[in-house]
Structure 1
Amino acid sequence: MDLSGVISISGKPGLFKVVAQSKNNIIVESLIDNKRIPAYSTDRISALEDISIYTYEEDVPLKQVYISLAKKEDCKAGPSHKESLNKLTAYLEEILPDYDQDRVYPSDIKKLFQWYNILQKAGLITLEEEKEEVKEEETKEVKEEKK
């Protein structure tokens, strides 16, 4: 799962992929309808790879939460962000049991599931990279054992 280049722009619905950069703005493409628009430096832009979810121990990157969600849903669409808040929080507790309920707001939970479904429809939810990373770690361990 590669979240690099995927951003959220405050005030604009959905998620965007960075397409090009110019002197005073970036050109982004919507993951919902594939329309291209400029995003300016005055816009509040958040990269998905920089976002984390608060837990009681340490913050968990959004990518790890989405990997857990993808494993549970078998890379299919998750619950809709329009479901009741009780259902969404119960579902989040299943995939991330120690999330900080005081610092993770209901709007954050809804956005989490909305973004997951947008990424899933765009075909960006995959678990293949994780399998490759696990294989690389296993080969490193085998090499270390041989030494």
Structure 2
Amino acid sequence: MNLRALVSVTGKPGLYKLIGQNRAGFILESLDKAKIKTVVNLNTTKMATLEDITIYGEEDEIRLLDVLETIKANGGNTPDPKTASNEELRNFFREVAPGHDESRVYISDIKKIISWYNIIKEFPLFDEEAPAPIQ
């Protein structure tokens, strides 16, 4: 799976695709239907690639990439984060991220991960190989 160009921006909903860089910062395009382009300044805004995000585990951290692949492998069916109960969301997450630290992974985190999956499931990202890391 290749999630290197997809980022989450602190304080902004949704996901963004990194499309370039200029002196002011990084140029991002939203992945929603509006395809809004924006520039974020790294001195004032935090962003993280989905490939680098991890989830608190009871023993080791769990890579978001692994959770997204598990969701896809289980048929890609997710509860609706807007209407599902907290217990339904927690049970779903126990299946796709066994061993996550339930005291530090909040329902809001689970909702965000489900919404991210629902955004990216339409893209061929699951079929693309991630580029080899630069050494």
Which category describes the TM-score, using the shorter chain as reference length?
Answer: 0.7 to 0.9
Partner of 1:22: 22
Aligned positions of 1:60-99 closer than 5 A: 60-73=62-75, 76=76, 78-82=78-82, 83-99=84-100
Aligned: 1:58 with 2:57 = no
- Structure 2 unaligned regions, length at least 5: 131-135
**What percent identity do the matched residue pairs reach?**
35
The verdict on how the C-alpha distance between 1:103 and 1:26 changes in structure 2, with shifts beyond 3 A counting, is same
| SS of equivalent residue, structure 1 residue 98 | coil
Distance, in Å, in 2 between the alignment partners of 1:127 and 1:88 is: 27
Equivalent residue of 1:86, what SS? helix
Alpha-carbon shift at residue 26 of structure 1 (Å): 0.9
Residues 1:11 and 2:11 aligned together = yes
CA contact (8 A) 1:6 1:15 kept: yes
Aligned residue pair count:
127
* TM-score when normalising by structure 2: 0.85
Would you say the 8 A contact 2:3–2:125 is kept in 1?
Answer: no
Q: TM-score, normalised by structure 1?
A: 0.78
Within 1, Cα distance between the matches of 2:6 and 2:128? Answer: 19
Q: Which amino acid aligns with 1:94?
A: E
Decide whether aligned partners of structure 1 residues 128 and 17 sit closer, same or farther in structure 2, where only a CA change above 3 A counts: closer
Query: 1:77-115: per-residue Cα shift (whole Å, max 9, x none)?
Result: 532221222111101111222111111111111111111
What secondary structure is seen at the aligned counterpart in 2 of 1:11? coil
Across the aligned residues of Structure 1 and Structure 2, the Cα RMSD in angstroms comes to: 1.8
**Other structure's SS at 1:14 match:** coil
Residue 117 (structure 1) aligns with: 118
Which runs of 5 or more structure 1 residues have no equivalent in the other structure? Answer: 131-147
Cα separation, 1, equivalents of 2:111 and 2:16: 18
Deviation of 1:127 (Å): 4.8
